[in-house]
Each structure stands twice: as C-alpha cells, then as structure tokens.
C-alpha cells in the first residue's frame, strides 16, 4: 500500500489467529465490505492488517474496523499508526502462542506414548480412551477453537480441517470402545494413532513453521536492534544522556568515537569517518566534517562530532527505512492475488471432497467399508494444506525484501519484484547517474564581457538550483569570492535551465539548445567551437550570449562493470541524456553503451520509455535528477539513486542507497531469484495437494493396496508448510546476489 491520500487515515491492527491464505481472504473480505475503507493489506508472516479508511464519526471509526475483524473470527490485539509498532504487539502474541503450542505438544506427546503402545502394553480399551481424552481436548484445543470460530462466522479454514478430522477419528474410536457389538467385526478398529499423530505432527509443524517464519524477517529486525536508544544532548552548556524520543529538532548532540549517531542531522563541528553500511550496504567509511549530513543509526568511527538535529529519532532515515520495508513486505505481487482467490474456495472444496470420498467408499468400497470410508475421509481432511499456499508468496517477499534492505536497495512495493525480474531494457541518465554527479567548471568560452561577469550572472541563476552544474558554479564562485547580483524572480525549467530577473535584466543559464529556443543568438563563427566542446552551461543576458562554462564530470568507477553485467543478463542498455552529443557519447563510450539519446528534454525521456513499452518491452529508467522524474514515473521500474533529488526518489519504484551501480545488478538478480522462489513455493504447494489428496482419498488402494493413514497425511501437510518456509529462507543467503 502506498502512503494514504489526504483525508484518509491509516491504522495497523495486530491480529491473532491468522494461519493460512483463507484467513487472509476472510479478513480482507470483512474489512472491504465496510463503506469508507479504501485499502486493506494483510501481512500473514507478521499477522498485521493495514487499513486505509475515510473516518466518519459514529459510522466508520477504528472500533468498527476492529469489530469487523473480530466478527470474522479473529482477535485484534491493539492498534497503531505504523506497522512497526503493530508488529511489536503481534510479536509478543506470537511468542506466547509458540510457548502455548509447545506446552500442548508436550502434553500430547506424554499421553500419546502409552497410547501408541497400547497393544504392546496390553492396555484395556477404556484406559486407551482415558489417555486419548487429554490428547484430543488439551493437545488439540487450538484447532477446536478455530473450528468454533469458523462455525460462528460460517466459513472454514485450516483449523477447521484439522479439528474435524481429529474429532472424526476420536469419536469413531470412542464408539468402537463403548459400543463394539453394534459394528461389524472388521470395523472394530480404534484410530488412536490417527488422533495422536495428527495433533502431534500438525502442532509441531505449526510451531516449527512459526520459528522458521520469524527468521525471514531477520534483516529488518537487525536494523531495529541496531537503532540507538539514547543521545548525548548539549543543553545550557551541559551534556546529558537522554532517551532518543526526547531529542528535538535544532538541538546539538555530541557523538563520541565508537558511538552511534542517534538522529539525522548536520555536522556543526568536528571531523570523523562514519560507517554507513547498515543503510547503504557500502562497507567503506565515509568522511564527515562541518556541513556534512549524517544519518541516524550510522556508526562514528574515530573522531568526536557535534551535530545539529534535523529530524527526530522516529523520523530518521533508519526509522523511515524500517517502516518503508515493513510496508513493502506487506504488499502483494500480482500472483498472490490469484492465490487468495483460490484460497476462498479451497477449504469448502476439501470438505466437499472428503464427503464425496466417504460416500464413494460406503457405496462401492470393500469391507470393512465404513472403517475405510472414515479413514479416507479423515486423510483427505488432514492432507489438504492451504497454509503452504498462503505462505508461499509472503514468506519469499519478506525474506527477499529484507535481503534487499541489507544490500541498500528499497522497493516501494512487492509488485516491483515481478516487474524487475521481467526487464528487457535499462535506460541510464548521464549526469549524477552514470557519472558521479559532481561536475566542475574546467574552463570557459567567453564571447562578451569578462569571465568574472559571466560567473556572477551564472551564480545569480544557479544559487537556487538543484542541478549538479549549479553546485559546480557555486563552488567556483566561492573559490573566486564572486558575489551574485540581486535576484527579483527565479524560474526553473527542468532539463533545460534557469531564468532569473535582476532589475530590468533577464538572465538565462542552461543548455545551448534551450537558449536558442528562447531567442538567444549563437554567432555562426563560434558555433563550431561550441559543438566540439563537451558539457556546457551557457549564460545569456537580455538575449545576448555571454559565453559558456565547460563542465567535466567523472564516470562512476562501477559503471563499465554494471553495464557489462546487465548485458550478460540479456538486457539492452541505452544512455538517455539531456546533455550535449559530445559529452553524452564520450560517457557512453567509457561505460560501454552503444546507443545514445542525447540533448533530450525531460518529456522526451518519458516518450522514449513509452516508445519501448509500445513495442512490448519492459523498461527500467535509472536517474537521480528533477528532470528524470517523468521518465521514472512512466517506466515499468523507476530506479533512483538516494543521492539524487527528492522528486526523483518519490517518482521511483526502487531506490539505491549505495551509488555503486553494481547494486542495481545485484537487485535485478535478487528480484529474479525471489520470483523463482515464489514459483517454486507455489509449485510445491499445488503439486503437493494435487498428488496427495487423491492418494489420501484411496486412489491407489484398488490396484496397489496402498492407503494413506491420517497421521501420515497430517505429517505430510505440516512438512509442506515447513518446506515452503525453508525454501524462502534461501533468499537470506548472501550468495544469491
């Protein structure tokens, strides 16, 4: 789910009792029926539900949402504005549930051991019945609770399947013990092993699955554990250690060597190097001095720093990243929506199939047909597994997005996983993306006046601009102690340039083609001189061209390797730049890109994206500037560098905190691996059900004499969920990227 729109409130509810895909479908359905609910995102691994709704006093409030979930048969543990807080509440509940599961499992095992050995120990049938009662009642209580809730809401889930199957075996066995004379001799067989086996295997499977599922979220949990809890604040000249939530914007905090930076801020004094690997995935320490920006959660290595706080702890980069990862993990790829639809009818279909199985055996089965009918029907109920279907996608998404976060890659939502894995074309912007984005003024072509005058007018234009060329002009002006004329108005034209008015003068600084469009004449005798130059920032005053500054920008060291790796993966790579032909082709040649679109306007970049898409291609656009935003928005996957502008980052689907372009290669590889794991999980879940349910129904009995006992069916069902969780955990390995 994206951020809620104005007037829409979001609340995150931790919910107890969700175990499978059918649970997800029921909760979503119950909430979406409420008028005013605009979005619902259920995260099964964390058991939280994010709801976007339009509040209406007396008609639609949080209590109405809670009531709808509880009416569907689930417990709401609380409410929160963020998924992180909701998960904390849910985690405590899940830990308590795990302890309860282990307690019930231990009791079931203790009473089941003599029950399984009843024949060897020569126990009386009544003693066996006495031992079976605590196994069925206490050991299977969590399943029976689920059945009672299912009856109240007139729908069924995984708990209902297990409860019905164990009650069927238990009641039949009790009847055999109490009224044996009413049954044929061949049917007087108790099924205590089926009762014990089902409860033990399925409970153990659920407990193990819960433990394994928790490991898929280790990446984000690690980030949360690394977040600092206190800060050293300077107040009234005195230093004091206070909880991080008490630190306010504008205050000065001190960070000693070896300590973590508590909040986002700006260094006001001191010099040091910071380890930012937890945010960027880059292990190389970054130098910081007065004026440098720092991020909460990073580690100060060797110097003392004084930092002015620019964002409170709960709004720091680390906090925002954790929340963003949580939100993206809770979204669903398109394939999961189809799985959810299947889950809505899966459990009812299983009950129908079990009834049909019993009817077929009673009508056409051999003696003892009643015993065989009951055994096969219970086996069908025990073998059906919506849990594996429900966990197949979300566990892979949680593990994969967590691994991406460790790499310094953040995805806006899970749908990007599918898009990134299907890419055909990657388009790179040049300045700040393929190059380092720190151009410098390497020279000047002066046509009128002096270079100092041209620099002063350029500074008037670029002081307020976000373009990388602007930083180069400001740096040059600072070096030469140049001051800008007074500016009365400022107007930016993304991808083209800047227009300012200073008194009666109209000043433009930007690309030469844009100045020509604005009526600025380029002398014919200097046209060749300009065309042979590389990147230029031209300056004009009152439609007269003063000249241009020549800009140089170094190629990112990782660019050639990243381009080569993308090509090896079968992707087409192009350079799309608003820069001049000479500069664009020079950068493309150094990076190993064969096709270049140069002197392109922002809207034309978006047009190039649409053109490739019209040919049926999946397109990624990689950029970092304000002028890249339209293309980033139109691309199937918009990729922004975190060093870029806020507009570019907001327009992108995928953000690279580490400017190393090989991170993009690793992100696409990881996306492909996540898609593969999701498909493997779903294939296993579907194949398991398609093969095991017919076997459980007795399809092999007529020709091979093979009958799947209920306890073995339950063990196989538990194994299918565990296998899905373990397969998803493979994404946590570092060798996948």
616: Cβ–Cβ under 8 A, 6 or more apart, which residues? none
In this structure, of 173-182, 395-404, 478-487, the range with the lowest mean pLDDT score is: 395-404
pTM above 0.85, yes or no: no
Q: Which of 82, 114, 141 is the last residue of a domain?
A: 82
Residue 651 scores a pLDDT above 60? yes
| Residue 408 lies inside a defined structural domain of this protein | no
Please state, in angstroms and rounded to a whole number, the distance separating the CA atoms of residues 51 and 64. 12
The torsion angles phi and psi of 597, rounded to 5 degrees, stand at: -115, 110
The two three-digit tokens of residue 619, written as one number: 């397109």
CB 603 within 8 A of CB 496: no
| Residue 724 lies inside a defined structural domain of this protein | no
More confident residue, 367 or 483: 483
Residue 491 scores a pLDDT above 60? yes
Do β-strands 505-510 and 497-502 pair in parallel, antiparallel, or remain unpaired? antiparallel
Residues 618 and 486 in one domain: no
Q: Radius of gyration (Cα) for the chain, nearest Å?
A: 33
Q: Classify 516 in phi/psi space as left (phi over 0), alpha (psi -120 to 50) or beta.
A: alpha
Mean pLDDT of 175-190: 81
| Residue 92 lies inside a defined structural domain of this protein | no
Residues 285 and 302 in one domain: yes
Whole domain around residue 67: which residue ranges?
Answer: 9-82
The segment with the largest mean pLDDT, out of 118-127, 206-215, 563-572, is 563-572
CA angle 312, 313, 318 (to 5 degrees): 120
CATH number of the domain enclosing 24: 3.30.70.100
Q: What is the mean pLDDT of the chain?
A: 81
Residue 181 scores a pLDDT above 70? yes
pLDDT at 205: 72
CATH number of the domain enclosing 454: 3.40.1110.10
Please state, in angstroms and rounded to a whole number, the distance separating the CA atoms of residues 419 and 256. 44
Partners of residue 88 on adjacent β-strands? none
CATH number of the domain enclosing 581: 3.40.50.1000
Residues 456 and 519 in one domain: yes
Residues 523 and 494 in one domain: yes
Residues 511 and 568 in one domain: no
Residues 527 and 596 in one domain: no
In this structure, of 223-227, 276-280, 679-683, the range with the lowest mean pLDDT score is: 223-227
Mean pLDDT of 244-268: 84
Query: What is residue 255's three-state secondary structure?
Result: strand
The torsion angles phi and psi of 253, rounded to 5 degrees, stand at: -120, 145
| Residue 577 lies inside a defined structural domain of this protein | yes
Point out the catalytic residue in the list 43, 340, 429, 553.
429
Residue 419: pLDDT band with limits 50, 70, 90: confident
Count, residues in the chain = 737
Nearest to 531 by CA among 544, 550, 518, 546: 550
The two three-digit tokens of residue 87, written as one number: 């998960």
Residues 621 and 588 in one domain: yes
| Residue 390 lies inside a defined structural domain of this protein | no
Residues 573 and 640 in one domain: yes
In this structure, of 4-8, 485-489, 620-624, the range with the lowest mean pLDDT score is: 4-8
Count structural domains, the chain.
4
pLDDT at 225: 57
Q: Alpha-carbon torsion 695, 699, 700, 706, what sign?
A: positive
pLDDT at 231: 81
Q: Which of 311, 336, 356 is the last residue of a domain?
A: 311
Residue 130: pLDDT band with limits 50, 70, 90: very high
The torsion angles phi and psi of 600, rounded to 5 degrees, stand at: -100, 135
Residue 530 scores a pLDDT above 90? no
| Residue 231 lies inside a defined structural domain of this protein | no
In this structure, of 396-400, 420-424, 555-559, the range with the lowest mean pLDDT score is: 396-400
Percent above pLDDT 70 for the chain: 85
Residue 6: pLDDT band with limits 50, 70, 90: low
Residues 489 and 571 in one domain: no
The torsion angles phi and psi of 407, rounded to 5 degrees, stand at: -80, -10
Residue 564 scores a pLDDT above 70? yes
Q: Which of 275, 293, 311 is the last residue of a domain?
A: 311
Percent above pLDDT 90 for the chain: 14
Nearest to 196 by CA among 103, 128, 122: 128
Please state, in angstroms and rounded to a whole number, the distance separating the CA atoms of residues 564 and 269. 42
Residues 535 and 481 in one domain: yes
CATH number of the domain enclosing 290: 2.70.150.10
Nearest to 706 by CA among 719, 715, 716, 697: 697
Q: Is 75 annotated in the active site?
A: no
672: Cβ–Cβ under 8 A, 6 or more apart, which residues? 420, 421
Residues 639 and 540 in one domain: no
Q: What is the pLDDT of residues 296-352, one digit of tens each?
A: 878 888 888 888 988 876 666 666 666 666 665 556 666 666 666 666 677 788 888
Residues 501 and 574 in one domain: no
| Residue 316 lies inside a defined structural domain of this protein | no
Please state, in angstroms and rounded to a whole number, the distance separating the CA atoms of residues 251 and 604. 45
Residue where the block lists tokens 């199939």: 353
| Residue 173 lies inside a defined structural domain of this protein | no
Residue 283 scores a pLDDT above 60? no
């Amino acid at each position: 789910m994206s951020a809620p729109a104005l007037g829409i409130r979001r609340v995150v509810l931790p919910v107890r009792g969700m175990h499978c895909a059918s649970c997800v479908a029921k909760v979503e359905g119950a909430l979406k029926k409420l008028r005013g609910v605009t979005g619902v995102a259920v995260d099964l691994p964390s058991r939280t539900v994010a709801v976007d709704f339009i509040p209406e006093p007396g008609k639609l409030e949080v209590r109405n949402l809670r009531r709808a979930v509880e009416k569907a048969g689930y417990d709401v543990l609380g409410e929160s504005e963020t998924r992180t807080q909701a998960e904390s509440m849910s985690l405590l509940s899940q830990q308590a549930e795990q302890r309860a599961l282990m307690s019930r499992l231990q009791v079931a095992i203790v009473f089941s051991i003599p029950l399984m050995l009843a024949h060897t120990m020569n126990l009386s049938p009544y003693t066996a019945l006495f031992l079976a009662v605590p196994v069925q009642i206490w050991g299977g209580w969590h399943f029976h609770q689920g059945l009672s809730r299912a009856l109240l809401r007139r729908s069924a889930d995984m708990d209902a399947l297990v409860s019905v199957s164990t009650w069927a075996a238990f009641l039949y066995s009790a009847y055999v013990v109490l009224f044996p004379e009413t049954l044929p001799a061949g049917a007087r067989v108790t099924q205590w092993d089926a009762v014990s086996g089902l409860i033990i295997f399925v409970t153990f499977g659920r407990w193990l699955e819960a433990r394994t599922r928790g490991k898929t979220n280790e990446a984000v949990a690690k980030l949360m554990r690394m977040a600092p809890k206190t800060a050293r604040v300077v107040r009234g000249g005195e230093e004091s250690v206070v909880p991080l939530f008490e630190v306010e914007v504008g205050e000065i905090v001190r960070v000693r060597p070896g300590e973590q930076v508590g909040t986002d801020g700006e260094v006001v004094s001191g010099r040091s190097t910071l380890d930012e690997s937890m945010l960027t995935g880059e292990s190389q320490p970054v130098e910081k001095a007065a004026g440098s920006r720092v991020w909460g959660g990073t580690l100060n290595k060797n110097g003392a720093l004084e930092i002015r706080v620019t964002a409170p702890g709960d709004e720091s980069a680390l906090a925002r990243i954790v929340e963003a990862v949580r939100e993206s993990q809770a979204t669903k790829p398109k394939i999961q929506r189809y799985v959810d639809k299947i889950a809505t009818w899966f459990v009812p279909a299983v009950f129908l199939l079990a009834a049909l199985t019993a009817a077929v055996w009673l009508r056409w089965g051999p003696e003892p047909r009643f015993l065989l009918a009951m055994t096969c029907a219970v086996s069908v109920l025990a073998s059906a597994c919506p849990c594996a279907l429900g966990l197949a996608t979300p566990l892979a998404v949680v593990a994969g997005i967590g691994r991406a976060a460790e790499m310094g890659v953040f995805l806006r939502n899970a749908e990007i996983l599918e898009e990134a894995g299907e890419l055909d074309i990657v388009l790179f912007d040049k300045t700040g993306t393929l190059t380092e984005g720190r151009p410098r003024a390497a020279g000047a072509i002066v046509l009128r006046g002096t270079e100092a005058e041209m620099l002063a007018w350029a500074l008037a234009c670029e002081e307020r601009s976000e373009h990388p060329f602007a930083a180069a002009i400001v740096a040059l002006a600072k070096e030469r102690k140049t001051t800008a004329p007074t500016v009365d108005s400022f107007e930016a034209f993304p991808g083209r340039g800047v227009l300012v008015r200073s008194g009666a003068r109209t000043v433009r600084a930007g690309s030469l083609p844009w100045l020509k469009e604005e009526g600025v004449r380029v002398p014919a005798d200097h046209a060749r001189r300009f065309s042979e130059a590389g990147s230029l920032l031209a300056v004009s005053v009152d439609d007269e061209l003063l000249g241009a500054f020549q800009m140089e920008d170094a190629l990112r060291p990782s660019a050639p390797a990243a381009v080569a790796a993308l090509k090896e993966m079968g992707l087409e790579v192009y350079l799309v730049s608003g820069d001049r032909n000479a500069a664009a082709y020079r950068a493309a040649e150094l990076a190993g890109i064969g096709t270049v679109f140069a002197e392109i306007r922002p809207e034309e970049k978006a047009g190039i994206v649409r053109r490739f898409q019209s040919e049926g291609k999946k397109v990624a656009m990689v950029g970092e500037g304000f002028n890249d935003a339209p293309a980033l928005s139109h691309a199937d996957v918009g990729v922004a560098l975190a060093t870029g502008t806020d507009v570019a980052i907001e327009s992108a689907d995928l953000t690279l905190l580490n400017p190393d372009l090989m991170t993009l290669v690793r992100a696409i590889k990881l996306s492909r691996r996540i898609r593969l794991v999701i498909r493997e999980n779903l294939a296993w879940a579907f194949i398991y059900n398609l093969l095991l349910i017919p076997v459980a129904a007795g399809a092999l009995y007529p020709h091979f004499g093979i009958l799947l006992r209920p306890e073995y069916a339950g063990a196989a069902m538990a194994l299918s969920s565990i296998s899905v969780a373990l397969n998803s955990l493979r994404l946590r390995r570092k060798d996948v990227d």
